[in-house]
Amino acid sequence: VSYEFDVKMTCGGCSGAVSRALGKLDGIESYEVDLEKQSVVVRPTSATYDQVYEKIQKTGKEIRSGKVVDPEAAEAEGTSSAAGAAEVVA
């Protein structure tokens, strides 16, 4: 599972602020802040989507959109959409 956010970042200071904030958040396996794509991808261990969202929001950056990406659910959709839907809900 990963969390993907579209975050308005206009300079290296912006992306640096988001990186520093995420670096202080427990429950994250890894994260990637891409200034050019204006994206933030977080791979959590125990941090929830809401915790990560709030941490990014506290930097003052505008979060234009966000989503939870579950690769297992995406694979399951090819064979059984019901199983994929259950994975996303869980």
Q: Assess contact for 67 and 52: CB atoms under 8 A.
A: no
For the segment 81-90, what is each residue's pLDDT rounded down to a tens digit? 443 333 333 3
For the segment 13-24, what is each residue's pLDDT rounded down to a tens digit? 999 999 999 999
Q: Which carries the bigger pLDDT value, residue 42 or residue 73? A: 42
d(CA 2, CA 12): 23
Residue among 53, 6, 56, 57 at smallest CA distance from 34 = 6
For the segment 17-50, what is each residue's pLDDT rounded down to a tens digit? 999 999 999 999 999 999 999 999 999 999 999 9
